[in-house]
Amino acid sequence: MLLAPPVLSALLALAVTPYRVGVGWVNAGLSLLPVLSALTLWSRLLSGEIVTAGRGEFFRADALSTLLALCVSVVGALAAWLGPGLGADDGYDAGQARRFRVFANLFAFTMLLAVTTNNVGFMWVAIEATTITSAVLIPLHVNKASVEASWKYILIASVGIALAFAGTVLAYFDFVNVAGRQEAALNWTVLRAAAPSLHPDVVRIAFVFLLVGYGTKAGLAPMHTWLPDAHSEAPAPLSAMMSGVLLAVALYAVIRWETVVQAAVGPAFTDRLLLGLGLLSLAIAAFSLLAQRNYKRLLAYSSVEHTGLMCVGLGLGPLGAFATMLHLVNHTLVKSALFFLSGRVLRRYHSTEIARVSGLLRVLPWTGGLFAAGTLAIAGLPPFGLFISEFALVRAGVAAGRPWTVALVLMLLAVAFVGVVGHVNRMLYGTPSSGVGAGEESVWPLVPLALCLAAVVVLGLTIPAPLERLLAQAAEIAGK
């Protein structure tokens, strides 16, 4: 139920030629099955069961896997329901809609496979496959900028994933040298159990390769340069999937390997690296936000900022790990909603330039209102959940005895706040251009996006007990 529906949807869209609207609606219906499956995994996890399947526990859904599977399936369902190919006049022809339905579903499948396989080798394969399946969709509207962004993404991400492969091979051969050849040698559970006997120096070198490699996919600086171009040129549903969950999936791979390395050499080594890359990402993103002229690039750099924040949290011990898990959920909901909303803004104004968008609240009152709410959320203001997760991260830094790290984080968050709110404020108010008509085309697509933002408000006021247990269990895995 988790992995089969996106594959079936992709095969259906591939088989039906020419493309028909019914294919999109079938895809939208099937996209709900992975959400139900992830919720089922969650309920079984809360009852004390870790679901496994396949030979040698090839598939394994612990709390961390279940949390990521839930995020991926929810954003995948949003893309299926709000993406091109459902009959609305969305600016895409039948061929583009068909291509989106094929590769967006394969993209969702590769991410779901990456977070549910127990085998770190297949996890690497799945994350590599996310590059291919998503890069094809970046130039859905073919132009020089989108094609260039796609190639840039492929080249940089491929170099990064090659470094992750080198780190995986180093760790594997060290394991074989210690424990001998085993059928399940690449299973995360096996590596984690054998970690104390691995050679510390080899493990440290392997983790550097892995962190730089998967960190490239996660958008960590200074390997982030592909991200603003790709996210700004991609169609809105793909941008939502890439920014909302792809970065989190890559960070998931870092967390899996971090726990192995910490068991081998202790937490100090990994914490220093995570804090360093996290703070660098936060700094570069914060000052880049001030200089943006394109609102989709603004959202892209905001993703770099929040990935850096999550990376900082992972370097601050168990409390920081919990803050990271909560922040991941909040960021997934808000950022995916914002990218979908940006697509509606682009269709009305026909420009991604901030200077060419004015009077958004008058032109598209519901879209503009939700865009304003999402901006306040992503800036970390109460009563939204990101305020709580950022506060939890600051508290974790104080508890870990890192006051200077906390001070630097707060300063950079203030810079990012000024950048995001200042630019979006200019879009919301003012007099719209004479050629821009007022009024919403269709309001129903805004309902799921409003629900995403409402969920973030709820998380800013309270964390429901089942979710708190899931986050705590995922943080326990990440904080070991």
Q: What pLDDT, on a 0 to 100 scale, did the predictor assign at position 89?
A: 67
Q: What confidence tier does 480 reach under pLDDT thresholds 50, 70, 90?
A: low
| Whether the predicted pLDDT of 147 surpasses 90 | yes
Buried b / exposed e along 62-95 (16+ C-beta atoms within 10 A): bbbbbbbbbbbbbbbbbbbbbbbbbeeebebeee
What is the tens place of the pLDDT at every residue in 325-354?
Answer: 999 999 999 999 999 999 999 988 988 999
Q: What pLDDT, on a 0 to 100 scale, did the predictor assign at position 262?
A: 93
For residue 281 the two structure tokens come to: 């990402």
| Whether the predicted pLDDT of 430 surpasses 90 | no
SS3 118: coil
Dihedral Cα 296, 297, 298, 300, nearest 10 deg: 90
Residue 201 and residue 265: Cα distance in Å, rounded? 9
Rounded to 5 degrees, what angle do the CA atoms 165, 217, 1 make?
90
Phi, psi (degrees; rounded to nearest 5) at 53 = -160, 160
Residue 177 and residue 23: Cα distance in Å, rounded? 51
Residue 453 burial class via C-beta count within 10 angstroms: exposed 0-12, middle 13-18, buried 19 and up:
buried
Q: What pLDDT, on a 0 to 100 scale, did the predictor assign at position 337?
A: 96
What is the tens place of the pLDDT at every residue in 111-123?
Answer: 999 999 999 999 9
Predicted TM-score (pTM) of this structure? 0.96
Q: What pLDDT, on a 0 to 100 scale, did the predictor assign at position 312?
A: 96
Nearest alpha-carbon partner for 378 in 419, 344, 409, 348: 419
Phi-psi region of 464 (alpha: psi -120 to 50; beta: other; left: phi over 0): beta
| Whether the predicted pLDDT of 402 surpasses 90 | yes
| Whether the predicted pLDDT of 300 surpasses 90 | yes
For residue 336 the two structure tokens come to: 């995916």
Task: Please state, for a pLDDT cut of 90, what percent of the chain lies above it.
Answer: 85
For residue 408 the two structure tokens come to: 């630097």
What DSSP state is assigned to residue 459? H
Counting Cα atoms < 13 Å in the Cβ hemisphere of 100 gives 34
